[in-house]
Amino acid sequence: MASNSQPTHESETYEVEDDLSTEYGQDSDYDSDSYGEDTNEDDLEDDFEALDVEDQVPLLPEEINAMDSVADHFESVFKQRFGSTHPSFFLGSLKEANRAAFRCPMADRRPLALYLHKDVNGLMKLPSETLVNKEISDLLRKEFVVWGWDMTTQVNRILLEELMAEADMRRIHSQIPSRLPALLVVLAPMSVNQIVARIQGHFSVERTTETLLDCLEQNKEIKEANQAGSAAFEAEKKERAALLEEQRIAYEHMLAEDKARQEEKLEKERLAKKKEDEERLQQEEEERMDA
């Protein structure tokens, strides 16, 4: 992330489309049924807090290098700009956040919420109103792993692509919506990361809460399915172990019988030889006496 150039902030104003599906294209996995019904958004910008972002401190300046410093600065400036009530952002790289969410015991796995920020005049409702709502921030803090990144500058957009490649999340990067800020919720059924919800500025607090709760329910179902599969696997494992133990006992019993038969045979041979030796000695003794 090192750069001597000063961060440049792109001042943009998006015209919100009536049909959000056009943003993702027909081949995208965006599903309006999954993310809530589209609303009439012709005048959505009037509802957004019109923050002048030109003079704002960037959430992610280009000159910070260490990932811990990046996350610490991100949360500190987020608090300064939008308020003390906010989600806790993961301190570490995206790869580490991905591991914290999904590379842990199944019972402890949580959805990964990627907050992708971009300073755009008129489109700051998501960070300035939604994410600072106490119910939403508490829900994200307790039930999600939240990782944040600022995509305002070209340098940071390129770096995010590199971080996603490092975290094996290239497919997620290809599905980032063009309209930011956005909160992308990621789950990992079958250990494959996939976006299950895109929360953007036009979402109400109620719709955002419902979407997050739905993501938690999906995560619960994934864990239950995995646990059911694990239970079946354990049952099959125990059955195989019992069969192997039964075969082991039968084999040892067979070996014991073979050993007993061999010992009996050897004992008979020993007794027969002993008898033969005794008879031979007796015969020799009789012959000597006759002589």
Domain CATH for 153? 3.40.30.10
CA distances from 133 to 51, 84, 87, 158, 290 (A): 18, 10, 9, 31, 125
pLDDT of residue 257: 87
Contact 9, 152 (CB under 8 A): yes
Contact 175, 29 (CB under 8 A): yes
265 assigned to some structural domain? no
> How do the pLDDT tens digits run along the chain, 291 residues long?
434 444 444 333 333 333 333 333 333 333 333 333 343 444 444 444 444 555 577 788 776 666 767 888 898 999 999 998 999 999 899 999 999 999 888 888 999 999 999 988 778 899 999 999 999 999 999 999 999 999 999 999 999 999 999 999 999 999 999 899 999 999 998 788 999 999 999 999 999 999 999 999 999 998 888 876 565 556 677 777 777 888 888 888 888 888 888 988 888 888 888 888 888 888 888 778 877
3 assigned to some structural domain? no
Where in the sequence is the domain holding 207, given as residue range(s)?
Answer: 67-219
18 assigned to some structural domain? no
Q: How many domains does the chain have?
A: 1
pLDDT of residue 110: 94
38 assigned to some structural domain? no
- State how far Cα 124 lies from the chain centre: 29
Neighbours of 134 (CB within 10 A): 9
168 assigned to some structural domain? yes
145 assigned to some structural domain? yes
